[in-house]
Structure 1
Amino acid sequence: MAAARGHVQDPNDRRLRPIYDYLDNGNNKMAIQQADKLLKKHKDLHCAKVLKAIGLQRTGKQDEAFILAQEVAALEPTDDNSLQALTILYREMHRPELVTKLYEAAVKKVPNSEEYHSHLFMAYARVGEYKKMQQAGMALYKIVPKNPYYFWSVMSLIMQSISAQDEKLSKTMFLPLAERMVEKMVKEDKIEAEAEVELYYMILERLEKYQEALDVVRGKLGEKLTSELQSRENKCMEMYKKLGNWPECNALSRQLLLKNPDDWQFYIIYFDSLFQLIDTAWSPPAEGEHSLEGEVHHSTEQAVAFVEQRIIHEANSVRPLRGPYLAQLELIRRLRHRGCSEEHKLGDPEELLFQYFKRFGDKPCCFTDIKVFVDLLPPTQYTKFINQLLGIIPLSPLTEGAIALPASPKALQQHLCVVQLTRLLGLYHAMEKPQKLAAVRDLMLRYRHGLDFGKSCLKTELQFSDYYCLLAVHLLLDIWLEAGEEPAAWRCLALLEEGLTHSPSNAQFKLLLIRIYSWMQSTYSMTQLVNVFNIS
């Protein structure tokens, strides 16, 4: 309501202000009483009647509120107070379609009002009336010839094309019309904002005019694409891919990696384009540039050398970069898949994964990075690899004979990464039941110890050691689902409930609980579950 009051220009503002204040403060009954007092003195003060309707709506008297609102709406008001108050009321009633009728009437009475036309356009947008949006946008542009209003109409055409059930109609009528409208502005040199260029690019892309879209991005209009980092280059890359211009893709991705060697998306494009060029036996021209974007790499030797150069560059960088090391592993995997002997030039995957863990093992992202490449390890080396990783984690027993525990959150994160890899590689799955139960006890001991590192965490934050509890639950679930031992399921519930007391915001705990309770419900009756858990 405060926002509405900010627009009030009516002389009756002083009289209405107490009602606004009561509504803003949630004192709806006093707002109704104040409105009644005001209406006794000023029967024609329509806004007071609408504000009373808002108070009635908020006190649960929807029918009375709607009758009052319709009485005012039938008069087709044109004052800002009444229009904005009715808009607020209709939104709270979830009747946005009534707002369109309200402003349709206002526009008829005040046809040259920029404000009412713009409100009408937004009202159509809320109910998805894209055809009427287009008409309202053009009507507004005729009254006030500003670029944004013109492009509101263009955007409405795009929305009509997106929502059209007939794709042929979309590509033969709506999008071509939108294209012509934008081209008219381009020819008249009236394109002003980046959003207008983005809209033009979107239209051309949807029409599959990829070369035209590329020309727009590379041309003068593309200079306006500045709000996002590398926006112009990303759009060029997208068009090169759709056009199958792999030399340009390769050259551009290589240039971007020289500037930012940690950008993973460009490594993927670089490798994709490289092997596309190799498969088509592409070779650079005898004279001149390789491509519009510069030098092109078209052999595995060049790729190997390029990745090695990025790693050397990383060694001299201010902060550690993961991209070059992951690119090294990605290239090995691709070369191995293609049966290329050059993979050996990049090193032994097991040693590279070990070195990667040494550099980034204390980062939460380490596990998700490494798990993509564990298929490079032979199964016979899994246990050795895990033991190798455990060997470099700083763990120490709290008392003589006790298990070794991490002394810092970083060491805990390293150990968690190894435990997750152990699960991923199937080493836990290969254990017998007694070993699994021992592993559960070990994990929960580590979980409870790790809670000491998260004493200062907020309720909305996760505990550092939550994954220990989660892995312990999954081991118990394995025992339950494989052997059908119900005590394991009950223990799962107990551990998850314990975990939620320390991490109330942990979504994985909650989802697992829902899943297990659902399984339980299919096995036990609701009465039995209530008795077991004392659910009231």
Structure 2
Amino acid sequence: MAARGHVQDPNDRRLRPIYDYLDNGNNKMAIQQADKLLKKHKDLHCAKVLKAIGLQRTGKQDEAFTLAQEVATLEPTDDNSLQALTILYREMHRPELVTKLYEAAVKKVPLSEEYHSHLFMAYARVGEYKKMQQAGMALYKIVPKNPYYFWSVMSLVMQAISAQDEKLAQTMFLPLAERMVEKMVKEEKIEAEAEVQLYFMILERLGKCVEALEVIRGPLGDKLTSELQSRENKCMMLYQRLQRWPECNALAHKLLLKNPDDWQFYPSYFDSLFHLMDQSWSPPEEGEHCSEGLVHHTVAEVVRFVEERIKCEDGKDSRSLRGPYLARLELMHRLRERGCPEESLLGDPLELMVQFFGKFGDKPCCITDLKIYLHLLSPEQHVQFINHLSEAVPLGEQGEEGFAFPEDTKALQRHLCVCQLSRALGLHHSLDIDGKLRLITELKAHYRHGLKFGKHALKTELQFSDMYCLMAAHVYIDLWTETGDENMAWQCLGILQEGLSHSSSNAQFKLLLLLLYCRLGAFESFVPHVLPQTPQDIITFIPL
């Protein structure tokens, strides 16, 4: 509720019980207390507004609005009344009335910093950007503080963003905002990082990339400290827009030396290399390659750089970073797309992916990391690849069911990754009907065995072995599609319901169950007609 810290004011003491009742949700008592107070002090406007808040919260909106307007027409200037009316209008979803309230207050108390700032914020809530600009400048004239000046600048930017006429934004609003900021720059009054960010935003929207780059690389760029590598990220973006590929390459190279696991710079590094190759760029005979330093303009240099990063990771006592290993696969992918013979310098993709699995196979991200590079393998290598991965999965001795199970969650994750990669390569789909039924039996056994690792998990947590259950369900759908045997669909429902009983928060189970029930006719009339109509539609809708 409204501030009530000045206990020396008699009115504050009188109003305090009403505030307490409203804060505690006792609206009826708040109304009664306000009525008692108004009998003794008819001119206590805030008590009327607080009564109106109580009426609003008890569902008597019309009475509340009438009472509030009685106070608003008097154009109050005391903080308690203004803040209480602001709360009431917000609860009524009438923010435009707050602007009128503070417009009147500012006219009566023209030198009040507080009322001017409240007026600006009121305009902001209703999107009155032109009035925001005027309110910001009026406030800056009263209290010359940087934030108030830049409120006005930001209002101009918002006018440009919301303008229907793009030409008007580019010729009037943004240039005016730019001149306002340049004035502060010349006077050396820029203080905060947000002010530099706003300047950069204006220049970027005006398409002045060269000027924006000078700002970021100059003294003002030193203020960009709230985000990690904010300055470098902005420089990289501008180099790419300006197609200054030598600088882009050199900057990416420097940043990857500092942090070889920062994936966002590898694509820029590789893109710039191929642009330089297409342009037949060569470094100058003397001096630095560019303003950012050394440029790698040949495939051999880039391959060597990536291999050096991998050697550094291999030599570490701590766990290796994924970035360099993925970068090698990404570079191989790009070189193959361009038909570059230097692809062979990086090695055999099968061996590289097996090596990656050996290092990171116990991480859930391993499947998504490797899945996008499976196309590097020839069809003849698919089975060989899965066999190599299976050899790196530590399983215990075979049980009575004839299956060997993982003995900890890391081994389970490795086995899951192998199963998912097998499906991604199409090995599950190529099995005959008996093979698929055996696969389902194995996946069910692994699922039920893996439940022991999640015995103490919270209800909101997923079981470690949920993916086995989901894969078994998809193999059932494969069989349903292939044979038309509806029993496979019912078996699928059974395993999904079992999975849901152990992982009640698993959204994939719920969505697949919904689609299956609808396909089998167990749905209400309100189910949208866009749901899948065939088993194949279900597979397409939720790819594994």
TM-score, normalised on structure 1?
0.93
| Contact 1:247 1:277 (8 Å CA) reproduced | yes
Q: Residues 39 and 508 (structure 1 numbering): CA distance in 2 closer, same or farther, change over 3 Å?
A: farther
Q: Residues 77 and 479 (structure 1 numbering): CA distance in 2 closer, same or farther, change over 3 Å?
A: farther
**Aligned residue-pair number:** 526
1:390 equivalent to 2:390? Answer yes
Q: Residues 10 and 131 (structure 1 numbering): CA distance in 2 closer, same or farther, change over 3 Å?
A: farther
Counterpart CA distance in 2 for 1:526 and 1:93 is 37
Q: Residues 9 and 403 (structure 1 numbering): CA distance in 2 closer, same or farther, change over 3 Å?
A: farther
Partner deviation per Cα, 1:491-526 (whole Å, 9 max, x = no partner): 4444444434433333333333444455456x8665
1:527: Cα distance to partner? 11
Q: Residues 54 and 322 (structure 1 numbering): CA distance in 2 closer, same or farther, change over 3 Å?
A: same
Instruction: Report percent identity of matched pairs.
Output: 73
Higher mean Cα deviation, 325-334 or 381-390?
Answer: 381-390
1:433: Cα distance to partner? 3.8
Q: Find the counterpart in structure 1 of residue 535 from structure 2.
A: none
Counterpart CA distance in 1 for 2:66 and 2:519 is 50
What letter matches 2:268 in structure 1? I
Higher mean Cα deviation, 204-213 or 7-16?
Answer: 7-16
1:285: Cα distance to partner? 0.5
| Contact 2:517 2:523 (8 Å CA) reproduced | no
1:434: Cα distance to partner? 4.0
Q: Find the counterpart in structure 2 of residue 427 from structure 1.
A: 427
Q: Find the counterpart in structure 1 of residue 283 from structure 2.
A: 284
Q: Residues 29 and 525 (structure 1 numbering): CA distance in 2 closer, same or farther, change over 3 Å?
A: closer
Counterpart CA distance in 1 for 2:86 and 2:513 is 43
1:174 equivalent to 2:178? Answer no
Counterpart CA distance in 2 for 1:69 and 1:432 is 76
Partner deviation per Cα, 1:396-416 (whole Å, 9 max, x = no partner): 257334322211111111112
1:364: Cα distance to partner? 1.2
What letter matches 1:93 in structure 2? M
| Contact 1:396 1:407 (8 Å CA) reproduced | yes
Q: Residues 114 and 479 (structure 1 numbering): CA distance in 2 closer, same or farther, change over 3 Å?
A: farther
Matches within 5 A, 1:31-50: 31-50=30-49
What letter matches 2:458 in structure 1? L
| Contact 1:8 1:80 (8 Å CA) reproduced | no
| Contact 2:395 2:404 (8 Å CA) reproduced | yes
Matches within 5 A, 1:403-442: 403-442=403-442
Q: Find the counterpart in structure 2 of residue 462 from structure 1.
A: 462
1:357 equivalent to 2:352? Answer no
What letter matches 1:113 in structure 2? S
Q: Residues 364 and 234 (structure 1 numbering): CA distance in 2 closer, same or farther, change over 3 Å?
A: same
Counterpart CA distance in 2 for 1:155 and 1:24 is 36
SS at match of 1:12: helix
| Contact 1:225 1:231 (8 Å CA) reproduced | yes
What letter matches 2:222 in structure 1? E
SS at match of 2:10: coil
Counterpart CA distance in 2 for 1:496 and 1:130 is 53
Identify unmatched segments of 5+ residues in structure 2.
528-544
1:5: Cα distance to partner? 4.3
Counterpart CA distance in 2 for 1:492 and 1:76 is 69
Q: Residues 488 and 97 (structure 1 numbering): CA distance in 2 closer, same or farther, change over 3 Å?
A: farther
Q: Residues 412 and 156 (structure 1 numbering): CA distance in 2 closer, same or farther, change over 3 Å?
A: same
| Contact 2:7 2:13 (8 Å CA) reproduced | no
SS at match of 2:405: strand
1:89 equivalent to 2:84? Answer no
Q: Find the counterpart in structure 2 of residue 300 from structure 1.
A: 299
Q: Find the counterpart in structure 1 of residue 195 from structure 2.
A: 196
Q: Find the counterpart in structure 1 of residue 248 from structure 2.
A: 249
SS at match of 2:33: helix
Counterpart CA distance in 2 for 1:84 and 1:187 is 40
1:338: Cα distance to partner? 1.6
SS at match of 2:351: helix
What letter matches 2:75 in structure 1? E
Q: RMSD between aligned alpha carbons?
A: 2.2
| Contact 1:8 1:81 (8 Å CA) reproduced | no
Q: Residues 81 and 313 (structure 1 numbering): CA distance in 2 closer, same or farther, change over 3 Å?
A: same
| Contact 2:444 2:468 (8 Å CA) reproduced | yes
What letter matches 1:439 in structure 2? L
Counterpart CA distance in 2 for 1:126 and 1:509 is 42
Q: Residues 38 and 323 (structure 1 numbering): CA distance in 2 closer, same or farther, change over 3 Å?
A: same
Identify unmatched segments of 5+ residues in structure 1.
529-536
Q: Residues 85 and 246 (structure 1 numbering): CA distance in 2 closer, same or farther, change over 3 Å?
A: same
1:480: Cα distance to partner? 4.0
Q: Find the counterpart in structure 1 of residue 336 from structure 2.
A: 336
Q: Find the counterpart in structure 2 of residue 232 from structure 1.
A: 231
Q: Residues 489 and 35 (structure 1 numbering): CA distance in 2 closer, same or farther, change over 3 Å?
A: farther
1:68 equivalent to 2:67? Answer yes
| Contact 1:440 1:475 (8 Å CA) reproduced | yes
Counterpart CA distance in 2 for 1:9 and 1:493 is 70
SS at match of 1:313: helix
Higher mean Cα deviation, 392-401 or 373-382?
Answer: 392-401
Counterpart CA distance in 2 for 1:459 and 1:421 is 29
Q: Find the counterpart in structure 1 of residue 474 from structure 2.
A: 474
What letter matches 1:381 in structure 2? Q
| Contact 1:32 1:56 (8 Å CA) reproduced | yes
TM-score, normalised on structure 2?
0.91
Q: Find the counterpart in structure 1 of residue 449 from structure 2.
A: 449
1:327: Cα distance to partner? 0.8
What letter matches 2:412 in structure 1? L
1:7: Cα distance to partner? 8.3
| Contact 2:113 2:142 (8 Å CA) reproduced | yes
Counterpart CA distance in 2 for 1:188 and 1:167 is 31
Q: Residues 77 and 450 (structure 1 numbering): CA distance in 2 closer, same or farther, change over 3 Å?
A: farther
Q: Find the counterpart in structure 1 of residue 273 from structure 2.
A: 274
Counterpart CA distance in 1 for 2:5 and 2:474 is 56
Higher mean Cα deviation, 341-350 or 46-55?
Answer: 46-55
1:374: Cα distance to partner? 0.7
Counterpart CA distance in 2 for 1:94 and 1:398 is 67
Counterpart CA distance in 2 for 1:149 and 1:506 is 49
| Contact 2:34 2:51 (8 Å CA) reproduced | yes
1:347: Cα distance to partner? 1.0
Q: Find the counterpart in structure 2 of residue 315 from structure 1.
A: 314
Q: Find the counterpart in structure 2 of residue 506 from structure 1.
A: 506
| Contact 1:257 1:263 (8 Å CA) reproduced | yes
SS at match of 2:264: helix
Higher mean Cα deviation, 440-449 or 380-389?
Answer: 440-449
| Contact 1:114 1:144 (8 Å CA) reproduced | yes
Q: Find the counterpart in structure 2 of residue 376 from structure 1.
A: 376
